[in-house]
Structure 1
Amino acid sequence: MCTAANYTAKDHYFGRNLDLEYSYREAVTVTPRNFPFEFRKVPGLQTHHAMVGMATVADGYPLYYDATNDKGLSMAGLNFPDNADYKPPSEGGTNVASFEFIPWVLGQFDSVAQVREALSDVRIVDTAFSEAFPPSPLHWIISDRNESITVEAVAEGLKVHENPIQVLTNNPTFDIQLFNINNFMNLSVDPPEPHFSKEIPFDVYSRGLGAVGLPGDLSSMSRFVKAAFTKVNSISGDSESEAISQFFHILGSVEQQRGCVRLGDKYEITIYSSCCNTDKGIYYYRTYENSQITGVDMHKEDLDGSELASYPLLKDQKILMQN
């Protein structure tokens, strides 16, 4: 499962945890403006916005998990099993396959407002990339500096939800996740005031008691609440170091540790956490084994070129010995 968030300090940041029990050899991938994006049912894009993000490159095609374009628009696909309902291609409308949805959006649009308007006739279709890569059940968070939306292809059709929390996890559907936040309106970063009874003396015996009841388990609904509480209350300094550190702490509040979620003979882990400075086009990440933050600057590539630039993840732990 996964968690994604949108965050603004001095600059704007977008990123996610990828939580899975296996890897598809993902790599930080920069797609320049003249890389030809061919789509299955809609016209391709011979020129488009440049983008940087995490992708599996298959047959020369970047299958993006999350990405940011050179206008600061960001998008991530998160696991949405049993709820994602992709349709067969139709005669009318705009038929976009799930694996090409991220480049189709980020290649053309500058803002969430533009995307919202364009989605009015979009149909997410059940076309597979290949036999090796069948359609993955996903829903998406699309963000810019000012707002976020969640897009879900469900049985009733394509749903576009306003996302004021600017956080996304997995099941259930986003409307239920957002309503569930109402159950935690009493949580606070401040020490609690006793309302239980005026007859009983209460002892505020620990810091953090204002957040008693904040979920700590690893389920998607609990991670949504935990990430939302952490994100909306987060405070960061203006420097790049302070901001990306704070963002990784937000994602760290809901990361998955090996051994805690068993799936047959495997365990789900946070394979990577990402944080993209969308203003500067710098994609930062760390992996499960390597807690050092590594960055890829899209603007150091030839963004007017036509060849992908791909950087395999640095997964070995980097330890600085001080003596």
Structure 2
Amino acid sequence: MKSKLRRSWKFAHKLISTSVATALLAITPLQQAQACTGITLQAQDGAYIFARTQEWGTFDLRSRVTIIPRNYALQTTLEDGKKGVGWKTKYGVVGLDVVEKDYLIDGMNEKGLTVNLFYQEGYTEYAKYDPSKAATSIPVLALAPYLLSNFQSIDEVRAAMAKLNVIGVRVEAIGGVPPVHLMVTDHTGKAVVIEFTNGITKLHDAPLGIVTNGPNYDWHINNLLNYTSLDVPLPHRKADDIKSLKFGAGARLFGLPGDLTSPSRFLRAAAYASTARKTVDGPETMYEAFRILDNFNLTVGTAAAEGGGEVNQEGMRSSTIWTTAYDTKNLVLQYHTQHNRRIRQLDFKTVNFDAKEVVRIPLDREKAQDIEYLNPSNSSQNIMSLAGGWSAAEVDQLAMDAANFAVSKDSSSAKLKRIIEVKKQVVKGANYFINYELDDGSVWDAIVYRDLTGEFSLKQSAKR
């Protein structure tokens, strides 16, 4: 695919990240329910998984999997037209973009470094742009790809951040500068949260690997100490003790806040991650991460999640647009979306990072739930489901067209002889279960989906 980056990263970006922070509970009596949640889990074989939810309440972010190759030149352009930080990518990167533009909300590079952006409204203040420092200035929207394509460890990220002037960007889609902070993790499990406070860049160690939104990260850590069962009396608890936090289980979690505000989600995420079951390897730990993050999914609506710009919720099923998990040891991305909870996977071993252009892959080939259909009369094939909604249907022209489509996808040269049975399920479009015979005597079952435009796609096919 052709890249729209074209060696120039424009300063006037549209929306790139996702989570509005909440105010301090003691200061703001009523908070909006807003946000994204991120957790880190470790497998017994040493694999670290970073996983997060991506919320946005006003419109579908239209995200894509984006692959940035090695040795690819990128150049930022600042608000006065001057060139900012420019670089040639050292490492290949896989991440998710938004609004079909070439900037990333989250991602991982081929060395296992991950970067994820989260909203932090009310607490973020970027440095003022100084034209005399243009060469070391970078728009916050370009920071994730910059870090991912250049560095492989937290120590390298720390050194790089000390040399950068990170500046804010007005985004017309949301009517202002998106206030974000970043969680960065590496393959050793080391992590930092990067925040911009009073014009100063601050890096906070994040040993638990938990992140939500505002207030500032150190406030969350101190607040967390109020909800632990440390044996040390409360006044003597220190943030340095965070690694030894012990949460109870079951009834002992009584009193843990259950609302959707950022401080409460941070507490629950820490509790759920701390009490997660032991997992042997990366794949099983990714499963556990998705299970935990299911607790943070939000319904559709601006009252449920942050969002800016014109409201257009047509086609949305959730304010949790998607959930991603990155295996920093095995270098694998997995995700599911608001439209399809089937896990999709991209293994870095299959990626050509020596390509010449950026590659983009839609998150959903079809915005419909992928369903496995079981056949009680033919358990070896597991092809037909008797789930609600299926009904007997006539062998009409649509059924014939669906059958012929299924046959066309078969590698054999046999032709359709007759349709034995048809069942139909009305979804967003229609699913056709077709039992048919070919002229070579073989009998097949197939599930064919017909969308609202009349296009067919083969869901499943099996020979009896």
Q: Which moved more, 1:235-244 or 1:155-164?
A: 235-244
Distance in 2 between residues matched to 1:263 and 1:309, nearest whole Å: 29
For 1:62-82, what per-residue CA distance to the aligned partner results, in whole angstroms no more than 9, with x for missing partners?
A: 210001011111010101112
Q: Which residue is 1:248 aligned to?
A: 290
Q: Which residue is 1:15 aligned to?
A: 51
Q: Which residue is 1:85 aligned to?
A: 125
Does structure 1 residue 4 correspond to structure 2 residue 38?
Answer: yes
User: Residues 257 and 211 of structure 1: is their aligned pair in 2 closer, same or farther, counting only changes over 3 Å?
Assistant: same
Distance in 1 between residues matched to 2:348 and 2:177, nearest whole Å: 28
1:115: Cα distance to partner? 0.8
Q: Which moved more, 1:178-187 or 1:17-26?
A: 178-187
Q: Which residue is 2:180 aligned to?
A: 138
**3-state SS of paired residue (1:167):** coil
User: Residues 53 and 262 of structure 1: is their aligned pair in 2 closer, same or farther, counting only changes over 3 Å?
Assistant: closer
Q: Which residue is 2:108 aligned to?
A: 68
1:232: Cα distance to partner? 2.1
The letter of the residue matching 1:18 is Q
The letter of the residue matching 2:224 is I
Q: Which residue is 1:320 aligned to?
A: 372
The letter of the residue matching 1:274 is T
**3-state SS of paired residue (2:51):** strand
Summarize the alignment of residues 48-59 of structure 1 with structure 2, pairs less than 5 Å apart. 48-56=90-98
Verify the 8 A CA contact 1:272 1:285 in the aligned structure 2: yes
For 1:229-260, what per-residue CA distance to the aligned partner results, in whole angstroms no more than 9, with x for missing partners?
A: 11122123224442211011122222223367
Summarize the alignment of residues 118-197 of structure 1 with structure 2, pairs less than 5 Å apart. 118-127=160-169, 135-144=177-186, 145-186=188-229, 188-190=247-249
Distance in 2 between residues matched to 1:165 and 1:113, nearest whole Å: 17
Summarize the alignment of residues 284-295 of structure 1 with structure 2, pairs less than 5 Å apart. 284-295=334-345
Q: Sequence identity, in percent? A: 27
Q: Which residue is 1:204 aligned to?
A: none
Q: Which residue is 2:322 aligned to?
A: 272
Distance in 2 between residues matched to 1:242 and 1:250, nearest whole Å: 13
Distance in 1 between residues matched to 2:203 and 2:197, nearest whole Å: 11
1:57: Cα distance to partner? 6.8
**3-state SS of paired residue (1:253):** helix
Verify the 8 A CA contact 1:28 1:296 in the aligned structure 2: no
User: Residues 243 and 86 of structure 1: is their aligned pair in 2 closer, same or farther, counting only changes over 3 Å?
Assistant: same
1:262: Cα distance to partner? 7.1
User: Residues 113 and 291 of structure 1: is their aligned pair in 2 closer, same or farther, counting only changes over 3 Å?
Assistant: same
TM-score w.r.t. length of structure 1 = 0.85
Verify the 8 A CA contact 1:4 1:15 in the aligned structure 2: yes
1:263: Cα distance to partner? 7.4
The letter of the residue matching 2:335 is Y
Verify the 8 A CA contact 2:36 2:53 in the aligned structure 1: yes
Distance in 2 between residues matched to 1:307 and 1:262, nearest whole Å: 34
What stretches of structure 1 of length at least 5 have no aligned partner? 191-207
Q: Which residue is 1:308 aligned to?
A: 358
Distance in 2 between residues matched to 1:66 and 1:276, nearest whole Å: 10
**3-state SS of paired residue (1:168):** coil
Distance in 2 between residues matched to 1:98 and 1:26, nearest whole Å: 19
Query: Which of residues 72, 85, 99 in structure 2 aligns to 1:35?
Result: 72
Verify the 8 A CA contact 2:168 2:178 in the aligned structure 1: no
Q: Which moved more, 1:68-77 or 1:236-245?
A: 236-245
Verify the 8 A CA contact 2:61 2:321 in the aligned structure 1: no
Query: Which of residues 321, 326, 331 in structure 2 aligns to 1:281?
Result: 331
1:156: Cα distance to partner? 4.6
Verify the 8 A CA contact 1:86 1:125 in the aligned structure 2: yes
Comparing both chains, which one has the higher relative contact order based on Cα–Cα distances under 8 Å and sequence gaps of 6 or more? Answer: 1
1:56: Cα distance to partner? 2.8
User: Residues 156 and 35 of structure 1: is their aligned pair in 2 closer, same or farther, counting only changes over 3 Å?
Assistant: closer
Distance in 1 between residues matched to 2:339 and 2:190, nearest whole Å: 33
The letter of the residue matching 1:316 is A
Structure with the greater alpha carbon radius of gyration = 2
CA RMSD of aligned residues (A): 2.4
Verify the 8 A CA contact 1:53 1:68 in the aligned structure 2: yes
Q: Which moved more, 1:164-173 or 1:90-99?
A: 90-99
The letter of the residue matching 1:188 is F
**3-state SS of paired residue (1:49):** coil
Verify the 8 A CA contact 1:76 1:102 in the aligned structure 2: yes
The letter of the residue matching 2:122 is D
**3-state SS of paired residue (2:273):** helix
Verify the 8 A CA contact 2:41 2:285 in the aligned structure 1: no
What stretches of structure 2 of length at least 5 have no aligned partner? 1-34, 78-82, 230-245, 376-464
**3-state SS of paired residue (1:101):** helix
TM-score w.r.t. length of structure 2 = 0.61
User: Residues 224 and 258 of structure 1: is their aligned pair in 2 closer, same or farther, counting only changes over 3 Å?
Assistant: same
Aligned residues: 303
Verify the 8 A CA contact 2:38 2:212 in the aligned structure 1: yes
